[in-house]
Amino acid sequence: MDNLLHKAYDPDQFRKEGHKLVEQLANYLENAMSGKTEKVIDWKEPDDLYEKWKDYIDKDVSSQQFFKDLIEQSIQLHNPRYMGHQVAVPLPVTALASMAGSLLNNGMAIYEMGPVASVLEKWIISHFAGLIGNKDSDGYLTSGGTLATLTALLSARQAMLKNDVWENGQEEKLAIMVSEQAHYSVDKAARIMGLGSQGVIKVPVDEEFKMQTDQLEPLFKRAENDGLKVIALVANGCSTSTGTYDDLAAISKFCDSKNIWFHLDAAHGGGVIYSPKYKHLLNGIEKADSVIIDLHKMLMGPALSTLVLFKNSDDSYKTFSQKAQYLWENEQDKEWYNYAKRTLECTKLMMSIRFYAIIQAYGIEIFNEYVTRQYDLAREFAKLIQMKSDFELATEPMSNIVCFRYAPQNVADLNELNGRIRKKSLENGDYYIVQTALNGDIYLRVTLMNPFTETTHLKSLLEEITKIAGKIE
């Protein structure tokens, strides 16, 4: 056993294997970015792929062969024909930072467990507070938008109620107001908090899929009449399905008038804060009591790392008041550097080093260049769609998300047709796009995440869709 352990930790072995893996990943990057990789996804049904891998561990293959097979059979995000989900196409420098973080493995529950990562996280929080316009704001990084949303809404509950929920439990029937286009994680968070279906008040959207702010007052009154105490309103910046930004100024005004918490889900669209051309889409963000922004979506970092920022610094501390004397001497002290006091996690990944590595290497201008380019490209794609008589745009894009469908005349069931188009496209694997349901109708959906996707790729996508449809009709 000792010999095996020494071999497993051997620095020379790590050096050799590491160089080989970096070479493999560099080759993947080169082939994917240039489009030499034929398939964006080598589609297999789940059971079929499981059959292929279930006995893999028993095969006599090298680590390098394992990594080769892993790379080839994973989605090729760096291929410019990847236009699927809201997943970042990670910058190579973040992979290097991730490798360093994984090997160092500083847990970050408290400062002494991860000193450098802790202070870099503090820098990131201060950086975003300055961008948003609330220099006294505070917060932290956590593992993804779902956990970030839950954390923010838990803070809202603690802040909005006179009763200390953490100590005494929940005594009232509570509710939150959310857009019909809100991410499903908001509904999930509300139900985890015990609000139930009655405690999630859906606000209808207009033809552009923006929250109808004129419906807020009557919905609020109805909730009060039903015996519910509304504690928060969740706005989109931007929505997941359509990429639409809500009217944050109007929403903020309503929240102030009702003295309720204003939470902004900017998981996807928060990166626009770096773009002078498009940052107006977030006008009013400084009014939000809490904001979440995924660093692993439009800020080119690998999953998972999400910023949770609170306008009132105190709100980032008082949600979780825990007694853990083996970790800290005084649980009441506001110690920004002991993150386990403020987050659901105890052990935390060294998330900060990945985002910091980007800025250290390239400065913040890279975010403007990327976000502005992708938002511009979505608008170019919308124009291409509008020029095609057999295609229909769901709404003018506000972000890098475009929803459209193939809609020729004399087709009885467009939903079935577009569903089949999407399925066949997935099986072909030349492009990776997804679908969404809007007002009960199926639309094809692209999220232009890859910085090397060009209009030529988008024109070819429309041609492929037309070709697929011709074989279906």
Instruction: Parse the chain into domains and list their residue ranges.
Output: 100-362
Measured between alpha carbons, how far is 190 from 194 in angstroms, rounded to an integer?
7
Hey, is 109 helix, strand or coil? coil
Stated pTM of the model: 0.93
Tokens representing 314 are 């105190």
Side chain identity at residue 165, one-letter code: V
* Fold adopted by 100-362: Aspartate Aminotransferase; domain 2 (3.40.640)
Peptide bond into 304 cis (omega under 30): yes
Side chain identity at residue 220, one-letter code: F
Measured between alpha carbons, how far is 102 from 112 in angstroms, rounded to an integer?
17
**348 closest CA partner among 308, 305, 313:** 305
CA distances from 334 to 316, 317, 341, 386 (A): 10, 7, 9, 55
Residue environment code for 340-367, b if the CB has 16+ CB neighbours within 10 A, otherwise e: bbbbebeebbbbbbbbbbbeeeeeeebb
Q: CA angle, corner 120, sides to 115 and 329, nearest 5? A: 40
Pairing of β 174-179 and β 200-203: parallel
Give, for all 473 residues of the chain, the pLDDT tens digit. 568 988 999 999 999 999 999 999 999 999 999 878 889 999 999 999 999 999 999 999 999 999 999 999 999 999 999 999 999 999 999 999 999 999 999 988 888 888 999 999 999 999 999 999 988 899 999 999 899 999 999 999 988 988 777 777 787 899 999 999 988 889 998 899 888 889 999 999 999 999 999 999 999 999 999 999 999 999 999 999 999 999 999 999 999 999 999 999 999 999 999 999 999 999 999 999 999 999 999 999 999 899 999 999 888 887 775 443 434 344 455 787 787 778 888 888 899 999 999 999 999 999 999 999 999 999 999 999 999 999 999 999 999 999 999 999 988 899 999 999 999 999 999 999 999 999 999 999 999 999 999 999 999 999 999 999 988 86
CB distance 340 to 109 below 8 Å: yes
CB distance 384 to 459 below 8 Å: yes
Percentages helix, strand, coil for the chain (3-state, rounded to 5) are: 50, 15, 40
Measured between alpha carbons, how far is 447 from 450 in angstroms, rounded to an integer?
9
CB distance 42 to 429 below 8 Å: yes
Cβ within 8 Å of residue 357, ≥6 positions away: 93, 94, 96, 97
CB distance 403 to 445 below 8 Å: yes
Measured between alpha carbons, how far is 266 from 260 in angstroms, rounded to an integer?
19
171-216 pLDDT per residue, tens:
789 999 999 998 888 999 889 988 888 999 999 999 999 999 999 9
